[in-house]
Amino acid sequence: MNRFSANPTPASIELPPTQLMINGQWVDAANGKTFDTYDPFTGGVIAQVAEASAEDVDRACRAARRAFEAPTWRKLAAADRGQMLYRLAELVEKNKDSLAALESLNSGKIISDAYGDIDLVINCFRYYAGWADKIEGATIPMRGDYLAYTLRQPVGVVGQIIPWNFPLLMLAWKWGPALAAGNTIVMKPAEQTPLTALRMVELAHEAGFPSGVINLLNGFGETTGDAIVGHPEIDKIAFTGHVETAKIIQKRAADTLKRVTFELGGKSPLVVFGDADVEAAVEGAFAANYWHAGQCCSAGTRVFVQDSLREEFVEKLARKASSRRLGNPLDPATEQGPQISQEQLDKVLGYIEQGKGSGARLVTGGRRVGGQGYFIEPAIFDGVKDDMTIAREEIFGPVASVLSFDDESTVMARANDTRFGLAAAVYTRDLSRAHRFAERINAGFVWLNCYFVLDANLPFGGFKQSGFGRDNGQAALEHYTELKTVVVSKDLGA
Ligand code: ADP
């Protein structure tokens, strides 16, 4: 039985300005519109946030273009851009407590996870701060009397659209490489989680980023997001979110042939062989399915367990899942917070019903907890078959599906039988098998005997319909730069 913790009541948490940030100024939406933002723990309204119209998007995009062309940014030494990113990292560190509380309040993320995300945010800014003056071109040997070299230059104005599950971390993954490379930004956070991005803009200005370099517009996808994607001043869109949204964005971006990079969903396989360290595998599968109440694009939700280990594995996983403490995300004793919204709650509960109806065995969990907030007990389905909906679609909730297998050759093909390809994991003591798996699995990120080990220097992104392009690492810088080739004649008729 999952315990529920309702205490303590949220301390008074300082809210950031809630207007739009355009060209270094806090402004209301041109039409004066606002929308409510909620606390997913209570379902109550936290604040009203300005909602950007197409007119505001136009102003922000033009401001970002002017800032891109202005000498204060364009002529700034790369090393100085790096210094600003370092300062931003320092400021995030200094404001860790208030940022973590605000993130937890608005996203329902448990407070310890909010701190964990912020550590990754700090790493990310420091990592890209170091890159700013190391984005190099090449010299290319030529036939004849020529010198040829390449320059890596910023793409220009980038539109960045991010989801609600990791509001601060997704912001950092997008800002870090974009700013290191010298781009300017128009960002739209998710409508569910607008608050921490507003605070981050304040910190960015304190860190020294000039007006107009970072513009922040809250609003909804079909309006604000769509206007950003369609705007002619935007040179590139970086998007993290749902596969179906990415398809709409790609079509819309085609009109102006914008560069697009997508980090989308998944239905990642986690394969546990009979020779695995069972405790480590249970630990890994638990994190893979229940971190942030299962609201992670790289969740390992297809858990393939070799027959010889399955019973023991499922029993251990169920014991852990059923003792998980749900409740107030701001209470340090809480282990799982609410789903983000009523809509997500309904969607996840719908999948659980489908799982039950399809003949899979619900081992534990799967019920809504309490009448307030959007809590779901961590669920495990056993006896799941490859073609069941719960094994094919991204649920985005605390629902693990256990599938059985008997040998390596069949499980590899089954693990790859999905339209997604974001992440994968294998637990085995057989080193050759682990590397065979890493080579053959169609996924952008593979963990061997671990899960969710992430950092700013590790490229992250998907194969197949999980997206294209990479966040993090040197790879992300390639997507935020254009490559220019210069050929110089050395023969000036002398
Ligand atoms: P989720 O299901 O996680 O909310 P979405 O893909 O709907 O995933 O949302 C991710 C981000 O994309 C959010 O900031 C959302 O507002 C934005 N978004 C949704 N629809 C569109 C669209 N048509 N154009 C641009 N952005 C969109």
Q: Which residues pair with 327 in a beta bridge?
A: 5
* 170 CB near ligand 1 (under 6 Å): no
**Residue of minimum CA distance from atom 2 in ligand 1:** 242
Distant-in-sequence, close-in-space partners of 319: CB < 8 Å, separation ≥ 6:
none
Q: 467 CA to middle of ligand 1, Å?
A: 14
* 248 CB near ligand 1 (under 6 Å): yes
Question: At residue 376, does pLDDT exceed 50?
Answer: yes
Provide mean pLDDT across the span 194-204: 98
Q: Does residue 188 sit in helix, strand or coil? A: strand
Compute the mean pLDDT over every residue in the chain, rounded to the nearest whole number: 96
CB-based contact 301:351 (threshold 8 Å) = no
Ligand 1 pocket test target in 161, 166, 248 with most atoms within 8 Å of CB: 161
Query: Residue 205: left (phi > 0), alpha (psi -120 to 50), or beta?
Result: alpha
Provide mean pLDDT across the span 72-89: 98
Distant-in-sequence, close-in-space partners of 254: CB < 8 Å, separation ≥ 6:
none
pLDDT at residue 11, rounded to an integer: 53
Ligand 1 pocket test target in 193, 196, 229, 245 with most atoms within 8 Å of CB: 245
Provide mean pLDDT across the span 338-344: 97
pLDDT at residue 3, rounded to an integer: 64
CB-based contact 109:193 (threshold 8 Å) = no
**Structure-token pair, residue 241:** 């979110």
* 188 CB near ligand 1 (under 6 Å): yes
Encode pLDDT of 209-260 as tens digits: 999 999 999 999 999 999 999 999 999 999 999 999 999 999 999 999 999 9
What's the pTM value of the predicted model, to 2 decimals?
A: 0.97
pLDDT at residue 4, rounded to an integer: 67
- The DSSP H or E segment spanning 112 is helix 111-131
Closest ligand 1 atom, CA of 244?
A: 6
* 183 CB near ligand 1 (under 6 Å): no
8: preceding bond cis by omega (within 30 degrees)? yes
**Structure-token pair, residue 67:** 């800032």
Q: Which residues pair with 151 in a beta bridge?
A: 484
pLDDT at residue 491, rounded to an integer: 85
Where residue 412 falls among pLDDT bands split at 50, 70, 90? very high
pLDDT at residue 12, rounded to an integer: 81
- The DSSP H or E segment spanning 328 is none
Encode pLDDT of 204-220 as tens digits: 999 999 999 999 999 99
* 280 CB near ligand 1 (under 6 Å): no
* 223 CB near ligand 1 (under 6 Å): no
Instruction: Provide, rounded to the nearest whole percent, the portion of the chain with pLDDT above 90.
Output: 96
Provide mean pLDDT across the span 109-114: 98
**Residue of minimum CA distance from atom 21 in ligand 1:** 221
Question: How far is the C-alpha of 365 from the C-alpha of 263, rounded, in Å?
Answer: 30
Question: How far is the C-alpha of 332 from the C-alpha of 22, rounded, in Å?
Answer: 36
Where residue 371 falls among pLDDT bands split at 50, 70, 90? confident
Encode pLDDT of 284-318 as tens digits: 999 999 999 999 999 999 999 999 999 999 999 99
- Residue written as token pair 């997913």: 40
Question: What DSSP letter does each residue of 220-276 carry, written as one string?
Answer: -IIIIIHHHHH-TT--EEEEES-HHHHHHHHHHHHTTT-EEEEE-----EEEE-TTS
Amino acid at 38: Y
Provide mean pLDDT across the span 30-57: 97
Distant-in-sequence, close-in-space partners of 230: CB < 8 Å, separation ≥ 6:
252, 255, 256
* 284 CB near ligand 1 (under 6 Å): no
Laid out side by side, the sheet with 269-272 consists of 361-364, 379-382, 399-405, 302-306, 269-272, 423-427, 445-448
Provide mean pLDDT across the span 39-53: 97
Residues recognised as catalytic: 263, 297
Closest ligand 1 atom, CA of 226?
A: 24
pLDDT at residue 310, rounded to an integer: 97
Provide mean pLDDT across the span 466-475: 98
* 229 CB near ligand 1 (under 6 Å): yes
**Residue of minimum CA distance from atom 25 in ligand 1:** 225
Question: At residue 130, does pLDDT exceed 90?
Answer: yes
Pairing of strands 467-468, 259-263: antiparallel
Nearest to 13 by CA among 122, 115, 106, 91: 106
* 226 CB near ligand 1 (under 6 Å): yes
pLDDT at residue 448, rounded to an integer: 98
Provide mean pLDDT across the span 256-277: 98
Question: At residue 490, does pLDDT exceed 80?
Answer: yes
Q: 265 CA to middle of ligand 1, Å?
A: 12
Provide mean pLDDT across the span 363-368: 98
Provide mean pLDDT across the span 14-35: 98
Where residue 492 falls among pLDDT bands split at 50, 70, 90? confident
pLDDT at residue 8, rounded to an integer: 47
pLDDT at residue 437, rounded to an integer: 97
Closest ligand 1 atom, CA of 190?
A: 14
- The DSSP H or E segment spanning 59 is helix 54-69
Q: 243 CA to middle of ligand 1, Å?
A: 10
